């Protein structure tokens, strides 16, 4: 494949999926602008030929400055990959509005604003690609993940509207929705768990989630699962460990979308993502709810 001459701007490249996508595309000869809130985390990508920039998707000035830099260097943005995001967990009842706004600022509004900033140069060039990284979570309700799930569903809706609006300009918007990947994502969620105050209505659910995440962490570190872990949490961790996919799989899909003349509108990635989305659509809602409760060790 011949690498495009136009640059690709990618957000959230400090670690995990964004880092993998940027590294994979750079190795394939693409001109990459890898970004993160802390550009010092991008040294490895710089060593592989990526241009690195500071970009905070919750800060208007930061987004504007990053886009201006790419436009100054090349006159246009050939492709935008909106990958930056995080998961805020906790019961919907207990999440503060500030936490929910922060979740949407990062996972939705930042992506939308970057699309707005990138689109004028794409329209002027008569060509462009926008890839928004969603999640399997948009297809299925996850207890204690209401803010995250809602943000990914909102991003999907924005992407669908954007795709239709920009098609006449030869700009293609694609939503890529990965399943569970072998990245640092779970550890980041674990570190940001809300406090489990004794006596709250959701104490057991939060304890179950914490147990699941701790089991996953132990397995990824090659450690024995703590004896305090519940059987349900241990089983859930085993299932997720077996399903965890290499993030390079997503990076390859991104590359294919960039090269395609007719990119797909929405692309689930990993076999278990396809299976889970199909199952969620087939099962009666009460049966699906019971399945999810059992899997995520909630009551």
Active-site positions? 148
Q: Residue 178's closest CA among 80, 270, 257, 104?
A: 270
| Residues 111, 155: Cα–Cα separation, whole Å | 8
> How far is 105 from 58, CA to CA, in rounded Å?
6
Structure tokens at 197: 């105050």
Closest CA to 216 of 177, 245, 187: 187
Supply the DSSP string of 190-244, one letter for each residue: HHTPPP--TT-TTHHHHHHHHHHHHHHHHHHTTPPPPTTS-HHHHHHHHHHHHH-
Largest Cα–Cα distance in the chain?
61
Query: What interhelical angle do 146-166 and 97-104 show, nearest 10?
Result: 30
């Amino acid at each position: 494949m011949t690498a495009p001459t136009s640059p690709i701007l990618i957000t959230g490249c400090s670690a995990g999926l964004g880092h993998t996508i940027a590294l994979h595309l750079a190795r394939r000869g693409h001109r990459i602008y890898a970004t993160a809130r802390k550009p010092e985390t991008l040294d490895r990508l710089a060593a592989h030929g990526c241009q690195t920039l500071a970009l905070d998707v919750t800060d208007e000035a930061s987004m504007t400055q990053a886009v201006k830099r790419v436009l100054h260097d090349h006159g246009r943005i050939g492709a935008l990959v909106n990958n930056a995001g995080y998961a805020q967990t906790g019961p919907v009842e207990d999440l503060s509005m500030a936490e929910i706004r922060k979740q949407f600022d990062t996972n939705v509004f930042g992506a939308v604003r970057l699309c707005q900033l990138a689109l004028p140069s794409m329209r002027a060039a008569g060509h462009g690609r926008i890839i928004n990284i969603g999640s399997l979570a948009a297809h299925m309700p996850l207890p204690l993940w209401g803010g995250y799930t809602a943000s990914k569903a909102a991003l999907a809706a924005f992407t669908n509207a954007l795709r239709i609006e920009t098609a006449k300009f030869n700009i293609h918007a694609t939503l890529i929705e990965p399943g569970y990947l072998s990245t640092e994502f779970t550890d980041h969620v674990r570190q940001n768990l809300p406090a489990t105050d004794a006596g709250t209505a959701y104490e057991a659910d939060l304890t179950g989630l914490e147990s699941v995440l701790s089991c996953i962490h132990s397995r990824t570190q090659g450690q024995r699962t703590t004896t305090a872990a519940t059987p349900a949490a241990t089983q859930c961790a085993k299932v997720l460990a077996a399903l965890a996919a290499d993030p390079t799989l997503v990076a390859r899909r991104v590359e294919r979308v960039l090269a395609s003349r007719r990119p797909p509108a929405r692309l689930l990635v990993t076999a278990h993502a396809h299976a889970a989305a199909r199952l969620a659509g087939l099962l009666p809602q009460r049966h699906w709810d019971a399945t999810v409760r059992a899997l995520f060790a909630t009551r």
